[in-house]
Amino acid sequence: MTRRIGSGKLVIATHNDGKLKEISALLAPFGMECISAGSLGLPEPPETGTTFVENALIKARAAAEASGLPALADDSGLSVSALDGRPGVYTADWAERQHFEGKPGRDWYMAMGKVEGMLQAMGADVPRDAWFSCVLAIAWPDGEYAVYEGRVDGTLKWPPRGQRGFGYDPVFVPAGGTQTFAEIEPEAKHAISHRADAFAKLVKDQFDS
């Protein structure tokens, strides 16, 4: 049987406030106290993996070892059919901008524009099918781990719409929907997102009796 995290403190291996809020909301009903790696002052390990699973495990293991607590990491990204699955595991890298006044950062509008520019260069009839992938990895300080994978399919729209969400949410419309992830209420997104799909599998394995 898979090892269970139970209730108590869980380190969320992220420095992204939006991701922490979303994960915390999903775990709140199970009595988990979520604290971020950022709030603990833990460094972000280099994501050298070539798959979402590898990168999620790198982050979860680093946070578990540094904190002495169970840690959960999310590695997620956007894949575009017409771009042969890119940006994929390099989703965040496409948002990296040049250092400004010595500070690195991410420009998601730039990243969305890069994807759109590549699609437009391929012609008006290019398919705009895309999907978000999410891998959740739980790691314990002693090295044990568990992995859960989720996915949501949809299409890309331009220009970006909505003020909610983060990352590529303003250009992604889930299959069967008319609004982008950045337009719908957070609760509605939590019910259908790639992260929700992965969390449903985590909950079934970790909390269901």
User: Residues near 64 by Cβ (< 8 Å), separated by ≥ 6?
Assistant: 11, 70, 71, 139, 140, 141
Q: Catalytic positions, please?
A: 75
Helix, strand or coil, per DSSP, at residue 4: coil
User: Residues near 31 by Cβ (< 8 Å), separated by ≥ 6?
Assistant: 7, 8
Secondary structure E strands in 28-161: 32-36, 71-80, 96-100, 103-106, 129-139, 145-156
User: Phi/psi at 95 (nearest 5 deg)?
Assistant: -95, -5
